[in-house]
């Protein structure tokens, strides 16, 4: 009994000495320094996989990182140069259809980008374009998207799903691209205004998630192209 108590105290003590997630100290344990001068390199991995994806970010490109399970009992060890999640924000230049640094943002919309191992894979299932649980659909031709309200069991989903109308609009690996938004949409459901939107695709061993404002939905294809091109630039072939 005493040994068990001492072990728990030791684990708690070690945990208490770990920096809080989201702090520069937490990032530094992963080997990331956001000082505007350091070229940060990080490998995105999944604990169940034997491979990782190598990313390199230019100096001044702020990135956040974390390791899944770092706060568990027992904790997953944080390793320098490795992370299970890498994230950053870029501004979307609507005039030129490209991502730029936030410092150049002005009145541009912000796109949040999360990178994880492709082990975190979305499978269409109930959310897919062929799902039998759709309640309502309409094509928004000016967006190039099919808007869909879905049902999970007896419950209507609060999020509005979007799928490309053009079958050529897909990820480079030919898998689907999909998007959704919190409440609203153009379908009258709750009377609430549309909120944040989210997109997902897979590319070169990574699952990539995008977060952006609803007003950028008409530009979603350009955003995907810009993020896909940017990923090709930061990914290092080993």
Within 10 angstroms of residue 10's Cβ, the number of other Cβ atoms is: 10
Instruction: Answer for the pair 127, 178: CB distance below 8 angstroms, yes or no.
Output: yes
Q: How far apart are CA 151 and CA 81, in angstroms?
A: 42
Sequence-distant (≥ 6) Cβ neighbours of residue 13 within 8 angstroms:
none
Within 10 angstroms of residue 212's Cβ, the number of other Cβ atoms is: 23
Q: How far apart are CA 138 and CA 145, in angstroms?
A: 9
| Its pTM surpasses 0.95 | no
Q: How far apart are CA 105 and CA 91, in angstroms?
A: 6
Mean pLDDT of 120-132: 53
Answer yes or no: is pLDDT of 170 > 50: yes
Mean pLDDT of 15-27: 84
């Amino acid at each position: 009994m005493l040994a068990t108590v001492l072990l728990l105290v030791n684990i708690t003590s070690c945990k208490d000495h770990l920096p809080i997630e989201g702090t520069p100290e937490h990032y530094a344990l992963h080997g990331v320094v956001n000082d505007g001068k350091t070229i940060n390199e990080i490998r995105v991995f999944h604990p169940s996989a034997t491979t990782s994806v190598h990313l390199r970010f230019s100096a001044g490109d702020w990135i956040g990182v974390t390791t899944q399970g770092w706060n568990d009992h027992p904790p997953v060890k944080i390793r320098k140069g490795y992370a299970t999640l890498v994230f950053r924000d870029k501004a979307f230049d609507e005039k030129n259809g490209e991502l730029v640094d936030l410092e150049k943002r002005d009145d541009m919309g912000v796109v949040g980008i999360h990178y994880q191992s492709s082990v975190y894979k979305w499978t269409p299932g109930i959310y897919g374009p062929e799902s039998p649980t759709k309640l309502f659909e309409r094509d928004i031709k000016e967006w190039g998207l099919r808007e869909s309200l879905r049902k999970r069991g007896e419950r209507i989903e609060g999020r509005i799903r979007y799928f490309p109308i053009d079958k050529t609009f897909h990820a480079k690996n030919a898998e689907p691209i999909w998007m959704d938004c919190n409440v609203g949409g153009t379908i009258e459901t709750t009377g609430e205004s549309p909120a944040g939107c989210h997109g997902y695709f897979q590319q070169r061993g990574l699952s990539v998630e995008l977060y952006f404002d609803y007003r950028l939905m008409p530009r979603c294809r350009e955003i995907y192209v810009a993020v896909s091109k940017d990923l090709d630039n930061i990914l290092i072939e080993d």
